[in-house]
Amino acid sequence: MAALSKIAAGNGHGENSPYFDGWKAYETNPFHPTDRPEGVIQMGLAENQLCFDFIKKWLMKHPEASLCTAEGVNKFKETALFQDYHGMPEFRQAIAKFMGKVRGDRVKFDPDRIVMSGGATGAHEMVTFCLADPGEAFLVPTPYYPGFDRDLRWRTGVELVPVICESSNNFKITRNALEAAYEKAQEDNIRVKGLLITNPSNPLGTILDRETLKSIVSFINEKNIHLIGDEIYAATVFMEPEFVSISEIIEEVECNRDLIHIVYSLSKDMGFPGFRVGIVYSYNDALVSCTRKMSSFGLVSSQTQHLIASMLSDDDFVDNFIIKSKKKLFKRHEYFTWSLSQVGIGSLKSNAGLFIWMDLRKLLKAKTFEAEMDLWQVIIHEVKLNVSPGSSFHCHEPGWFRVCFANMDDDTMETALLRIRDFMRKNNAAMIPHNKLCRRSSLKLSFSRRVDDFMSPGIMSPHSPLPQSPLVRARS
């Protein structure tokens, strides 16, 4: 049999990672409440399933948005025929407007700079391909999404140089850390072509503040390297402080805008990963032109463009969706982190994303990544929860795990929490209260409560419980 190409047969896909091994464990034994109640619960998938009831209602009221209905079939032919790789004008206009709304309408986006791709995966690869040659590198602050090792490296030959961030300052990106990574690359004779930041962060669930973003723009401007801002979780910020986009920062500071690029998608903010709607938005004319040509390899289907254009052009729907999504994410996050605190588990304080950065350092038998993997094996195969170990995110310190909380219904979440409670009891890792974990349905969380009650910096310690208001009252 003829051999595959070296690139195809190599390990550049990055799937030799516990992150993907956890998915495989789930796929071979997926949890189902009745058919497979002892199966693995998927907590490694960052997916937003909390607003589909609201989306479904809109679809029922607007059958014309679908080409496969009596109301929409008249547009079937014109949509099914050839579409160029620019994308439908109404689709690009709707995406540009939605991006602005997600950012509080503090900045406007030009529809002519919207370039579509097959999800954020395709968007990242296109940008990387256009900006760097094989052997050149991008700086990436740790911890970072494991898929970047595939998306940015596999077919481009580009390297990733970690910017080491530490728990001692809540994994903030500092100028010193950026300089250290840049100097290390130079010492290794690696040419740095850019910096990739994820804001809000995956896996931390935190956002970059305005001063940090200004420092980052100053850094890339001084080094004359590109900045890619992955902002695919922009609408998941459910609590103050509000999200600040790199597009806002460049309005406030002097910089070479040709160096600024944004990757966006609807997979996280809208919960539509199956639609494969990825976006490149660049302030660099040459990059816009190049990525638009490359988008032929991963276009968004015209049927999807038609539906998304119809949905996102409805201002009332978009405004209400953003509000409802924030409320639901806030409630789920607060209940989930509070429930973990009741069994002695802390997490990094966060206000965005579809996950938490869970702190299990005290459960390690040793402060090593080998001990982290041992603990992860127990969680996967005995507790039967697919959570992702920090080492798969290139975290510099062992004992951290990413846990997704928005990709399941309430009952599945309760089952997962019960398994965690039993695991902690068996390991005598914490003093477990005798009363049962309260049901989510008994919680009366008000989204209008003072959010700054939750925003003191640092780790959510089980020894410093959440403020005694709705949560504690709900237990009685």
Active site residues: 145, 230, 232, 268
Burial class (CB in 10 A: 0-12, 13-18, 19+), 389: buried
SS3 163: strand
Distance CA(172)–CA(120), nearest Å, equals 24
Spatial neighbors of 338 by CB under 8 A, at least 6 apart, are 465, 466, 471
Distance CA(385)–CA(111), nearest Å, equals 42
**How close are the terminal C-alpha atoms of the chain, in Å?**
68
Task: Kindly compute the dihedral angle of the four CA atoms of residues 340, 360, 396, 148, in this order, to the nearest 10 degrees.
Answer: -50
Sequential DSSP letters for 104-133: TTSS---GGGEEEEEHHHHHHHHHHHHH--
CB 353 within 8 A of CB 258: no
- Residue linked to tokens 């509070």: 338
Tokens of 95: 């995406």
Spatial neighbors of 474 by CB under 8 A, at least 6 apart, are 438, 442, 443, 444
Distance CA(186)–CA(202), nearest Å, equals 27
Distance CA(445)–CA(474), nearest Å, equals 9
- The total number of residues shown for the chain amounts to 476
- Tell me the sheet residues that pair with 279: 116, 264
Pairing type for strands 192-198 and 137-141 reads parallel
